[in-house]
């Protein structure tokens, strides 16, 4: 199954509820939380995410691009987010934090920046529900897809398959009708798309196109 999670970073913040309604066919809503420290951008905090949770008919897929996720991540699970992903580069103990998130009822994900290798985490994959491979440098939407991140994704897919695990492999950054095929062939099954969805004339139709393209090229 190919999951399409539109990123509300590309939505109209003033008309958030309207834009959420336009992506009702999505699997989850991707919410980028940035703190202007871990990445050079500032977006939402818990209060805004809580309001999105209140009005969204679709589960939230929260991506924390923040320092000190040990302090902040559990709160997003307590808000009701279906999935909470934090960056391994910012975490002092990813396994312990993932267990805390699961204890609070959320799926636990780890994210890897383009320059971060997955090898230290391959033996720990059963501790996580999702691994997010960033296909751009985190911090800003609208960047171009980095194909050089695909070998990392393939290593993760091989490890997940070899161990028979149910770990979602997500990609985020520059996902379009063209690049989603490359990512799917490399093993991704969950795709974050911002500009491609929200800047199309019909976001719901674009979600269907992306889902179909991913399914055609599935690893």
What pLDDT digit, counting tens, does each position of 123-152 carry?
Answer: 999 999 999 999 999 988 778 999 999 999
pLDDT at 94 over 80: yes
Q: According to the model, what pLDDT value does residue 139 have?
A: 84
Question: How much is the pLDDT for 179?
Answer: 97
Total domains in the fold of the chain: 1
How large is the average pLDDT for residues 44-58? 93
Q: What is the pLDDT of residue 191?
A: 98
Q: Which residue has the higher pLDDT, 139 or 14?
A: 14
- The CATH number of residue 98's host domain is 3.20.20.70
Question: 32 catalytic, yes or no?
Answer: yes
Q: How confident is the model over 163-211, as pLDDT tens digits? A: 999 999 999 999 999 999 999 999 999 999 999 999 999 999 999 999 9
List the alpha helices (DSSP H) in the chain. Answer: 16-21, 46-55, 69-78, 94-103, 150-163, 179-185, 195-198, 203-216
Single out the catalytic residue among 19, 27, 129, 172.
172
Rounded CA gap, 172 and 132, in Å? 7
From residue 119, alpha-carbon distances to 49, 151, 185, 206 in Å are 32, 12, 20, 34
Domain that holds residue 32: 3-216
Q: Residue 96: its pLDDT value, please?
A: 98
**What is the model's pLDDT at position 28?**
98
Q: Does residue 172 carry a catalytic annotation?
A: yes
Q: Give helix 69-78 / helix 46-55 axis angle, nearest 10°.
A: 20
The one catalytic residue in 32, 35, 129, 189 is 32
């Amino acid at each position: 199954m190919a999951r399409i999670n539109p990123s509300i970073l590309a939505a109209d913040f003033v008309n958030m509820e309207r834009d959420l309604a336009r992506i009702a066919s999505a699997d989850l809503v991707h919410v980028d939380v940035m703190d202007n420290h871990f990445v050079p951008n500032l977006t939402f905090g818990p209060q805004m995410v809580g309001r999105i949770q209140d009005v969204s008919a679709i589960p939230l897929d929260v991506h924390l691009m923040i320092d000190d996720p040990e302090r902040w991540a559990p709160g997003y699970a307590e808000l009701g987010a279906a999935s909470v992903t934090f960056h391994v580069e910012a975490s002092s103990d990813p396994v312990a934090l993932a267990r805390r998130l699961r204890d609070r009822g959320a799926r636990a994900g780890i994210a890897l920046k383009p320059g971060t290798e997955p090898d230290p985490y391959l033996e720990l994959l059963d501790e996580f529900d999702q691994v997010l491979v960033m296909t751009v440098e985190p911090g800003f939407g609208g960047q171009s897809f980095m194909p050089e991140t695909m070998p990392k994704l393939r290593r993760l897919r091989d490890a997940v398959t070899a161990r028979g695990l149910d770990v979602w492999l997500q990609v985020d950054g520059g996902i379009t009708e063209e690049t989603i095929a490359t990512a799917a062939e490399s093993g991704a099954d969950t795709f974050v798309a911002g500009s491609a969805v929200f800047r199309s004339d019909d976001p719901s139709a674009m979600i269907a196109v992306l889902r179909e393209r991913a399914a055609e090229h599935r690893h």
